[in-house]
Amino acid sequence: MSNDEKVEQTNVDITDEAGEVSHHVEGLAEDHVPDLQVKLEEALAKSDDYYDQLLRNKAELDNVRKRSQRELENAHKYAIEKFINELIPVIDSMELGQQAAETASDVETLKEGMNMTTNMFYQLLEKFDIESINPQGDNFDPEFHQAMSIQESADVAPNSVMAVMQKGYVLAGRLLRPAMVVVSKAPSEE
């Protein structure tokens, strides 16, 4: 057999084998098409489920955000409700004192009623962690005191609070209003 005949025979053999392989591959592909189609349908169904879950989660998150916003607005709106409910009895007591002042002839009874109302009010402030600042005799502190005037005094140490014109108030350590005070200074030498 010549080389050309051998090459031609090899080409025929390769072509026959390629045809067989091609037939075999087509057969395998035809066998696997239903499996692939089932897997594709399963993947599409899973994808649809995930998309539905995404939409539900997005809607739920939006609802939570809206509910939180409403609750925050209500918290701001009604933040002082508890304080006001505690303040109402003090107001009632003040009104009773006013009525008593119109008909009472005894000043001592009125003073006693005013003292009771004032005590109720201070108890209310204490309940809500509000403290009064009455710095009479203390050193002047610009963080909590506002100097309304300065007076020379030989009796009081310099930079001390000689008089309190108006008490200050602190809420849980935070200044609400400084105490208005008169501060002493050393007498000038003339």
- DSSP letters along the chain, please? --HHHHHHHHHHHHHHHHHHHHHHHHHHHHHHHHHHHHHHHHHHHHHHHHHHHHHHHHHHHHHHHHHHHHHHHHHHHTTTHHHHHHHHHHHHHHHHHHHHHHH---HHHHHHHHHHHHHHHHHHHHHTTEEEE--TTSBP-TTTEEEEEEEE-SSS-TTBEEEEEE-EEEETTEEEEPEEEEEEEPPPP-
- Mean pLDDT to the nearest integer, 11-17: 59
pLDDT score at 63: 97
Q: What is the pTM of this model?
A: 0.58
Which CATH architecture does the domain made up of 130-190 adopt? Roll (2.30)
pLDDT score at 188: 83
Average pLDDT, the chain: 85
The domain spans of the chain are: 1-41, 66-128, 130-190
